[in-house]
Each structure stands twice: as structure tokens, then as C-alpha cells.
Amino acid sequence: MRERADAARNRLRVLAAAERLFGERGVSGVTMDDVAAAAGVGKGTLYRRFTDKGGLAVALLDERERELQQLMLAGPPPLGPGADPVPRLVAFVQAYLQFLERHLDLVLLSETAAPGARLRTGAHAFWRQHCRYLLDRAGAPDADLRADVLLAALSAEQVRHWREDEERDAEGLAGSLAAVVSALARSRPTGRAGA
Amino acid sequence: MRERADAARNRLRVLAAAERLFGERGVSGVTMDDVAAAAGVGKGTLYRRFTDKGGLAVALLDERERELQQLMLAGPPPLGPGADPVPRLVAFVQAYLQFLERHLDLVLLSETAAPGARLRTGAHAFWRQHCRYLLDRAGAPDADLRADVLLAALSAEQVRHWREDEERDAEGLAGSLAAVVSALARSRPTGRAGA
DNA sequence: CGCCGATGTGGACTAGAGTCCGGTTATGTC
DNA sequence: GACATAACCGGACTCTAGTCCACATCGGCG
């Protein structure tokens, strides 16, 4: 027995209530009590399933993330297999930016609810693994560290800053980050950099 | 009248108490009430001076940051003026990593207390300005965005992850990030990236 | 079909961040 | 040196995240 029938029912009710409330009032205008009340369950039930508010966000994002992950693993190039590493990375960056565009509030919540949360989600491990692999295949040194650098630039908070505080347009941002990807993927300097 | 004498006295008492308590029990083991009580002031006084817990961290960090900033502006090369842009950037990265090494808890607090806090401190604006200037002088395209990318990689949370979760040694990290700096500073690809 | 242990449930409770406001004290003026 | 006023002070208060545990419910088993 993995999950009791009533537990499954409540889990779905919580998810549905959370999605509705977040949509209605925005992520920050909803308390955990609100979610519990709207779902018709107690707070204990809520916290039993979802570690904290961030965990709720992670659960809501889960399905959407899977779609993107599936495209990365088995979809058409350049996002999916078949393309060269750098174009695939660029495609990933663009796809991930679009993903953020649609779910920024939720991702922000999932990444900032607890300190260090961003680096601990399963989804993050997936993106990192993918970037590592492609950077390595592109011949970049320190592929794993550079994957982290790339993903740090794609953190919800950073992207929110670029898009909202600095009002950069989505395409310019994607283009600039594509150039960053190319720079990070290059295997070694061809000469002296700088002046 | 800029600051009443009693207010100044209390500000110093709060700072001294906070520094002592943070040192004794660690940043997360100290509540704002603790600080207020130890300083012999009420909570209202505390919050009047320092917006929130993060603001307290910012104030404590302030003096140390100024030292580093001074070295960057007027100290000996390669950190100070005189060296070429890329070596100066590399020196900044190393110096900033050492700064984090000593004050990680406080910086972490200052960056995570409020969402978006990291990008809003005065110190951050300074680092960003410096990196922008040097990247631009190195001929990098999108110098301002790339400065943000570099600083995102140097966020307290990311560096903490590398040093503590992944147990990377400080020198290896500095070396790898120096290579990243060089890659970001390069003006343009020398050929096709990838295959 | 009724018992029993495992699992789930709800809501009172704790804790800590941040707000508010009536009272207090410093500082400039005469 | 007394007054007016603006700044400051303190601690009670609110709000929300997250914990805890006595009780209810499920579902396998005899």
C-alpha cells in the first residue's frame, strides 16, 4: 500500500485548490491556511504531503517540467537529441526562459521558500545533468561547474530581475544568453583575452 | 540634525550586540528579539534602523565591504587600477571569494532575507558596476548582462553549495571561475562554436 | 464481517518576523 | 532655561509558517 485512497483524494484537492487560489490572488497573496481551508483539509494534512510552501510549488510545477524534460530527452532537435551540443544548449536556454516566462511566480516560490532550495529540487538536478553532459561534449573544461554557472544565471530571481526590473525583452535576453552559452562552451582561449 | 545622539548610541549598541550574538550562536540561532534584548533596546528601535534581519546583516557587512571596495578602487594591481581588465576581473573574483569565505553566513542572510534582496544592496551595485566596466574594457559584448551572470555565479547560496555541499576546495574553485571569467570576457567566437 | 496496526487527519499550539502607537527625550528657539 | 516639535523608543500586537499529537479512518487478515 503506497498511498491510502483518502490521502490521494486530499492530495488532489489540495493541488487543485492551490492552483486556483494562486491564479486568483497571486502566489504571495495566499497563505497556507487559505490553501488548507479551500481544500477542506487541516494544516497537518497539507504539511504531511508538501514539506513547505515551496514543496507545494514544486508539486504544481512537476507536470509542466516533465513536458519540457521529455522534449529534451526525446523531442526533435535542436532541443532534443541529434543536434550538436552548443545549439542544443542554446535551445535549452530558450526553452527554459519560456518556461520561466509562464511560471515565474511558482518557480520563484520553489526556489526561495527555503535557503538553498533552488539547488535541491529534482528538476534542478535534471537541468544540471543535461547542461553538464552537453558542455562536456562541447569540449568545455569544468563542465559541471560551468553548468552551475549557467543555471545560476537562469535562476528565477535573476531572470525576474532582467525581465521586470530592467525591462529587457525576452528575445534580446535569449540572444545574449545564447552568446554566453557559446562562450562557456568554448574549450580554451585562443590567445590573450582582453587588452 | 541628521541623527540624534541617543539614536546613534543605540545604533552602535545594536550593531555590537548583533555581532557578538552572531559570533556566539551563529546567524540562524539568533532572533531579532535576542538582538534587541542584548542591545537593551526595544524591537521598534531595531526595525527603525535596520529594515529587517537582512538589513542588519548589510550594516554589519558594510565596513568589511568598504575595505575591499577601496582596494579595488585604489589598491595595487592586479586588483586595483593599472592591470589589464581580465587579470583585474580574476583578481576581483578571488578577492570576493575570500570575502565570502570569511562572511558567508552574513552574506547569505543579506541575500536571502527578502526575495530579490541580493540584487538590491548598494554593495551589489558596486560589484556590478566594476565588473561591467572591466568586461566592457575587455571588449566583451553585453558587458552588463555578463556582469550579472558572473555575479550570479558568486551568489552566497551558489558558493556555499560549491564549498560545502560539493566540498570543492577554495583554490580549485577560484581557478575554475577564473577560466569562466576569461571565457565571458572574450570578445567574440573565433570560429563556429560546437561541431 | 469485525479486529488491529499503520496511516492519515485536523486544528490547537509555538515561534519568530515585522507593525503600530502612546509615551518619552533630544534639540532649536526665544 | 522653558517651550514646541520632531525624532525616537519600547514592547504589546498581528500575521503566517511550520509542529505536534490525540483521534479517526483505512484496508488487510483471520
Q: Is the pTM of this model over 0.85?
A: yes
> What's the CA gap between A71 and A48, in Å, rounded?
32
Q: Measured at the alpha carbon of residue A127, what is the angle toward residues A122 and A133, in degrees to the nearest 5?
A: 125
Quick one: B21 and B116 in the same domain? no
Q: In the prediction, which pLDDT does A1 show? A: 60
Per-residue pLDDT tens over the stretch B32-76: 999 999 999 989 999 999 999 999 999 999 989 999 999 999 999
Q: In the prediction, which pLDDT does B194 show? A: 40
Contacts of A118 in chain B (CB under 8 A): 157
End-to-end CA distance of chain B: 67
When pLDDT is cut at 50, 70 and 90, the band that residue B189 belongs to is low
In a domain, B35, yes or no: yes
List C-alpha distances in Å: A76 to A68, A71, B53.
12, 7, 48
Per-residue pLDDT tens over the stretch A76-125: 999 999 999 999 999 999 999 999 999 999 999 999 988 889 999 999 99
Quick one: A93 and A68 in the same domain? yes
Q: In the prediction, which pLDDT does A151 show? A: 98
Quick one: A123 and A172 in the same domain? yes
Contacts of B194 in chain A (CB under 8 A): 84-87, 138, 182, 185
Pick from A161, A152, A156: nearest CA to A180 = A152
Q: Is the pLDDT of residue A195 over 60?
A: no
> Are A145 and B177 in contact (CB < 8 Å)?
yes
Domain of residue A97: give its range: 60-185
Q: Is the pLDDT of residue A7 over 90?
A: no
Average of per-residue pLDDT across B78-88 = 96
Pick from A104, A79, A80, A101: nearest CA to A171 = A101
Per-residue pLDDT tens over the stretch B103-146: 999 999 999 988 889 999 999 999 999 999 999 999 999 999 99
Per-residue pLDDT tens over the stretch A8-65: 899 999 999 999 999 999 999 999 999 999 999 999 999 999 999 999 999 999 989 9
When CB atoms are compared, the residue of B149, B176, B195 closest to A153 is: B149
In a domain, B192, yes or no: no
Q: Is the pLDDT of residue A191 over 60?
A: no
Contacts of A195 in chain B (CB under 8 A): 84-85, 137-139
Looking at every residue in chain A, the average pLDDT score rounds to 92
When pLDDT is cut at 50, 70 and 90, the band that residue B191 belongs to is very low
Residue window 59-118, chain B: list those with CB within 8 Å of chain A: 84-87, 108, 112, 115-116, 118
**CATH code where residue B25 lies:** 1.10.10.60
Closest CA of chain B from A148, distance in Å:
8
Q: Is the pLDDT of residue A127 over 70?
A: yes
**CATH code where residue A119 lies:** 1.10.357.10
The number of domains in chain A is 2
Quick one: A75 and A117 in the same domain? yes
Q: In the prediction, which pLDDT does A187 show? A: 72
Quick one: A8 and A31 in the same domain? yes
Q: Confirm if B161 and A144 have CB atoms less than 8 A apart.
A: no
> What's the CA gap between A154 and A130, in Å, rounded?
14
In a domain, A195, yes or no: no
Quick one: A112 and A67 in the same domain? yes
Quick one: B170 and B80 in the same domain? yes
